[in-house]
Chains A and B, each alone.
Chain A
């Protein structure tokens, strides 16, 4: 469903990603962990074309992004990729001038061109699922961080994407709210939602993910099922990282 091959991303003199290859099949949950600055978020942003890259390819379904992909010239290609891959941001990025319901129906109405009624119907169902039916007419500023992130997840889900990319979705939240979001994500995973999750939550990676990747210094240094990565880490960086997080 998503196949990344030899992805290289440079930023000025620094090389952020040094040849990442990555394959996600339908229904799989991949967790990306590792020390800060390892290129986890950049990797995620390259998959849905928010960042251009300098080497390798990203294949989403039949669509292929390459270093030659131009944000203006290939706008339609990027839009097609983005419709298949939802994105959930660390900072939520809800639209502050729209109510909760309007945030959720914005893209279905204007991008998918669904009728307003259909969009509202879908949105209500999702808001119900994330437990925010009562807040549908509130504006984002009136919501707690956890509530905002739940709206953001509903906003991504309403497009019915084949996969959802989560970019540290709980890093801006306190532990209680983070827990709510993580259990919501675990729910989605149980329902077979394909996901790539960049996270600092070791418990999520250990308990929910099918595959765990450890990113360090621009490399995917170790990957495999959580049991392998967590119980018998092979790479010294992984060992150091796991020891570090265990101490926290």
Chain B
């Protein structure tokens, strides 16, 4: 059903850009660029001194790009693999997030010239003398294949899979640095990382060493919507200037990720050779006004109470988002669910089948898919709901199906004689439902409803797929950039418990009170 709607939307939606994005952006004065801070350093990650804000070489790059375009660069959080959807549905103007140039992506989006040349770096433990080259990976040990870690869906993953060709085992991880940690602990023998990560996090993982030269070089590029050539041209010209003026070198050096591969950037700019690149040879060279700055380093890993002290505040703040999401969406879910249940049991016959379909559809499809649908499909048919309200709406509608079923059971548990007694007193059906049947059903369903509230409370974490940063997402983001996973996990779990346990207590109290009322 979703698929049909989607296809329909694709047919209905205008295929070309509606207006020149650059002109719109000039009016608004902002360049909205998308990235996922969960990706970690050195790209976009929470500032160690102020985790509510982001830093990273791409943050600096975007800011400088904005200066050249005379626009304010504004970071927009989104899930890394959903960036093209966010771009298509106009939630952002550009993707700047370690997106490699690939011909497939260039088919559906406009790719700028590269702003960084990356390669793949093989890493293993310092004390592991068996691995000294890529070829050692294929040798295995005592008949068992060696395990190599890589980031899910990355160029590194597909490269190492091709390289292994069945002679070694590739394990995929969702976080950049997960596999580095796994090598350190000995669960993996080696990992393949993009060079910026290997350079930036080298100090965090002192037990690792680089094996051989980086291989398989590729390009990080800025992607904009298909057909927006004016914006693309402007970005390309800005990148040309940033290369010639030394802005890029300055930024990359400050993160310790400038290497000799980057000289190719100048080569591309001078010779104008790159897929889809409009040569900007006549772009004016300005004097570099970029202030010098201190080097940004990952430093050593924070541990113990230090983590609690530095990140407790931001976690607590994100827990607030979790509370807000659940306290707004659940009452809506209850109301909607009650209406659906009453409609199914007492409504006109023609309404019952659609309502049954509503319940089955929402219960039978994942919440995540429904949120994607609301967030990425509605804009296609011209309904743009902000991320926050998409989350509220998605949770409320999804849970309304479960509440409807609970209420249906509750309403059916009220003896038939209650409705008959109310009717025999001359009450209209609606009044009998409202005053006699529903109040009794509500008492019956309190325990399962509270149970669902706690479930919804934890399901708010799915809202991160529509760019909302709540407690779980914040935990992922922080743990990816700090590697203090254990401490952060404990704090997050405690926060969830602190929030959900009082609800259990409260429901116990309500149950007890209603029980007394009826037994008195």
A72 to B423, CA, bound (A): 12
Q: Give the CA-CA distance A198 to B427 in the complex, in Å.
A: 24
The docked-state distance in angstroms from the alpha carbon of A248 to that of B482 is 87
Contact B431 A110 (CB under 8 A): yes
Residues of A within 8 A of B429 (CB): 71-72, 75
Interface set, chain B 480-520, CB cutoff 8 A to A: 517-520
Q: Choose one: B417, B435, B518; the contact of A106 (CB below 8 Å).
A: B435
Q: Which B residues touch A89, using CB under 8 A?
A: 417, 420-421
The A-contacting residues of B in range 432-453, CB under 8 angstroms, are 435-436, 439-440, 443
A95 on the interface (CB 8 Å rule)? Answer: yes
Please report the number of residue pairs spanning A and B whose Cβ atoms sit closer than 8 angstroms: 73
Contact A97 B440 (CB under 8 A): yes
A141 and B520 within 8 A (CB): yes
Contact A111 B520 (CB under 8 A): no
The reply to whether B518 and A96 contact each other, CB–CB distance below 8 Å, is yes
Residues of chain A lying within 8 A (CB to CB) of residue B426: 79-80, 82-83, 107, 111, 159
Number of interface residues of B (CB under 8 A): 24
Assembly CA distance A79 to B428 (angstroms) = 7
Q: A48 — which chain B residues lie within 8 A by C-beta?
A: 424
Report A28-59 CB contacts with B as 1/0, cut-off 8 Å: 00000000000000000000101000000000
A93 near B418 (CB under 8 angstroms)?
A: yes
Bound CA–CA A91/B424 (angstroms): 14
**Inter-subunit contact A139/B417 (CB<8 Å):** no
Query: In the complex, A87 Cα to B423 Cα: how many Å?
Result: 10
Contact A139 B518 (CB under 8 A): yes
Known: A89-B417, A93-B417. A50 touches B424 (CB 8 A): yes
Chain A residues with Cβ below 8 Å from B439 are 97
Which of B424, B435, B440, B520 is A139 in contact with, Cβ under 8 Å?
B520
The residue in chain B whose Cβ has the minimal distance to the Cβ of A78 is: B423
B429 nearest in chain A by CB position: A75
- The answer to whether the Cβ of A155 comes within 8 Å of any Cβ in the partner chain is yes
Contacts of A86 in B (CB 8 A): 424
Residue pair A97, B518 in contact (C-beta under 8 Å): yes
Chain A residues near B420 (CB-CB < 8 A): 50, 87, 89, 93
Whether B11 is near chain A, meaning CB under 8 Å from some CB there, is: no
Nearest B residue to A81, CB-CB: B426
**Closest chain A residue to B519, Cβ basis:** A141
Instruction: Name the residue of chain B whose CB is nearest to the CB of A45.
Output: B420
Could you tell me the dominant secondary structure of chain B's interface residues?
helix
Q: Judging by beta carbons under 8 Å apart, are B518 and A141 in contact?
A: yes
In chain B, what residue has the closest Cβ to A87?
B424
A142 at the interface (CB under 8 A from B): yes
What B residues does A142 contact at CB under 8 A?
519-520
- List chain A residues, Cβ under 8 A from B436: 95, 106
| 0/1 interface trace, chain B 391-434, chain A, CB 8 Å (1 if under) | 00000000000000000000000010110111111111101000
Interface residues of A in 64-102 (CB under 8 A from B): 71-72, 75, 78-80, 82-83, 86-87, 89, 91, 93-97
B440 touching A96, Cβ below 8 Å: yes
Give the complex CA separation of A80 and B420 in angstroms. Answer: 15
A125 in the interface (beta carbon within 8 A): no
Question: Is B348 at the interface (CB under 8 A from chain A)?
Answer: yes
CB distance from B63 to the nearest CB of A (A): 62
Expressed in whole angstroms, the Cα–Cα distance for A139 and B428 within the complex equals 24
Cα(A156)–Cα(B520), bound, Å: 23
A138 part of interface (Cβ distance < 8 Å): yes
In residues 35-61 of chain B, which contact A (Cβ within 8 Å)?
Answer: none
- Distance of A87 Cα from B426 Cα, bound (Å): 10
A105 to chain B: closest CB distance in Å? 11
Question: Which residues does chain B contribute within 8 Å of A78, judged by CB atoms?
Answer: 423
A71 surroundings in chain B (CB, below 8 A): 429
Chain B residues contacting A94 (CB-CB under 8 Å) are 421
Contact of B423 among A82, A97, A139 (CB under 8 A): A82
Name B517's contact: one of A83, A110, A139 (CB within 8 Å): A139
Bound-complex Cα distance A79 to B427 (A): 7
CA of A172 to CA of B46, assembled, Å? 72
Cβ-neighbour of A95 out of B418, B423, B517 (below 8 A): B418
CA distance A111 to B425 in the complex (A): 8
**Measured CA separation A11–B63 after assembly (Å):** 79
Q: How far is the CA of A6 from the CA of B425 in the complex (A)?
A: 26
Are A82 and B520 touching (Cβ within 8 A)? no
In the docked arrangement, what's the CA distance between A78 and B440, Å?
24
Kindly report which residue of chain B lies nearest to residue A158, judged by CB atoms.
Answer: B425
Interface centre among A48, A110, A138 (most CB of B within 10 A): A110
Bound together, the chains give a CA A93 to CA B436 distance in angstroms of: 11
Q: How far is the CB of B516 from chain A (nearest CB, A)?
A: 9
Q: How does the 8 Å CB contact mask read for A228-244 relative to B, with 1 for contact and 0 for none?
A: 00000000000000000
In chain A, positions 174-188 with a C-beta closer than 8 Å to chain B are none
Contact of B427 (CB < 8 Å), options: A96, A110, A139: A110
Report A-chain residues with C-beta under 8 Å of the C-beta of B428: 75, 79
Q: Can you name the residue of chain B whose Cβ is closest to the Cβ of A88?
A: B424
* A80 nearest CB neighbor, chain B only: B426
Q: How far is the CA of A83 from the CA of B428 in the complex (A)?
A: 11
A182, B423: Cα distance in complex, Å: 25
Contacts A106-B436, A141-B518, A141-B519 supplied; 10 other A-B pairs, CB < 8 Å: A50-B420, A78-B423, A83-B426, A89-B421, A93-B421, A96-B518, A110-B435, A138-B520, A139-B518, A142-B519
> Mind listing 10 A-B residue pairs with CB under 8 Å?
A72-B348, A80-B426, A82-B424, A87-B420, A87-B424, A97-B443, A106-B436, A139-B520, A142-B519, A142-B520
Closest 7 CB pairs of A and B: A93-B421, A87-B424, A107-B425, A83-B426, A93-B417, A82-B426, A111-B426
